[in-house]
Amino acid sequence: MNTTSPTGTVLVCLSAYPRDLVESWVERAARVEVVLADGAPIGHLLPDLERADIVVGDAARRYPLDAAVLARMGRCRLLVHPAVGLDGVVDLAAAAAAGIRVVNAPGYNAEAVADWTLLAMLTTLRDGVGADRDLRSDGWHARPLGRELGAMTVGIVGFGAIGRAVHRRVRGFGARVLCSDPRPLTAADAEGATQVDLDELLAGSDLVTLHAPLTDGTRHLLNAARLAGMREGSVLVNAARGELVDEAALVDALRAGRPAAAALDVFATEPLPAFSPLLDLDNVFLTPHIAAGTEQARQRVRALVRDVIRAELDAT
């Protein structure tokens, strides 16, 4: 299984996967050496990356593979990244220039993230966190009335696999759905949602949920002006990328009450700094980038990585 033979295949795994799991993926192939990052600094891993034929990227985003690193991966023919987004972790242009095929895992987390999004919507509409906190600290007493999801208009920004999974869930509650996506959607694609431009969606939605990729064109997609254009009493939900929103502008907007509340699983800087002003706001529901964290999503992404690696080894 493990050999340092120069004629064998070297697989470097940057994700924190157990050795027995990774070795099970290559057990059918001859002469495969498995190298685990084990949390070592990227500089210590460069000699192994230079001789790697296959690299599994880091799902936790601790090891960005930029142009300088990719240029040293002269033997690498396949980079499998066990996540959806590649922004900030793989320089795609540099990988292409180096002749490295890059495979990510689109859609593996759609159901998990959609579930978290529904949790976030219901928690904010009923102020579940505040109700729990008040009962523990002040005992049984009346609370302000909440709102029903079925009575809301939900705006979905980005109508890919996750956006559509969210749509299926909120449609089950009876909510009206608006969507915004750079692609013109057919009636079949929209699945009953109404496609509008972003500004119309922000002005017309009680809940706005972000599911767009982070690109140069979408960074700070929601800036101060767009946040000010949100409907009174609205809620912003973000489980996509923190930098889709101008975080400083969002703090000011939440203090001003528009949006009235936010539910955030992603942030401009992760881990979220202990001094972040978001931590001081009572109208924000915060979780530490866990939306995709389910047993089922983990099983799906690991199976995808396994199948891609096995197909590559079978073809050589």
Domain ranges of the chain: 9-108+296-314, 110-286
What's the confidence (pLDDT) of residue 6? 55
Mean pLDDT, rounded, for 128-136: 95
Contact between 179 and 205 under an 8 Å Cβ cutoff? The reply is: no
What's the confidence (pLDDT) of residue 252? 98
Same fold, 9-108+296-314 and 110-286: yes
Per-residue confidence band for 3, with pLDDT thresholds at 50, 70 and 90: very low
pLDDT tens digit string along 288-301?
Answer: 999 999 999 999 99
* DSSP letters for 66-86: -HHHHHT-TT--EEE-SSS--
Structure tokens at 227: 């946040």
Using the predicted structure, report yes or no on whether residue 10 has a pLDDT greater than 80.
yes
Mean pLDDT, rounded, for 71-82: 97
Which of 118, 126, 108, 61 is CA-nearest to residue 87?
A: 61
Per-residue confidence band for 2, with pLDDT thresholds at 50, 70 and 90: very low
Using the predicted structure, report yes or no on whether residue 73 has a pLDDT greater than 60.
yes
What's the confidence (pLDDT) of residue 30? 87
pLDDT tens digit string along 193-245?
Answer: 999 999 999 999 999 999 999 999 999 999 999 999 999 999 999 999 999 99
Which of 251, 254, 243, 177 is CA-nearest to residue 212?
A: 243
Distance from the first to the final alpha carbon of the chain: 17
Using the predicted structure, report yes or no on whether residue 161 has a pLDDT greater than 90.
yes
The highest-level CATH class for domain 110-286 is: alpha beta
Active site residues: 241, 270, 289
CA distance 313 to 316: 5
Burial of 130 (0-12, 13-18, 19+ CB in 10 A): middle
Asked if CATH classification 3.40.1160.10 holds for the domain at 9-108+296-314, the reply, yes or no, is no
Structure tokens at 5: 């033979």
Contacts of 2 (CB under 8 A, 6+ apart): 23, 32, 33, 34
The more confidently predicted of residues 4 and 294 is 294
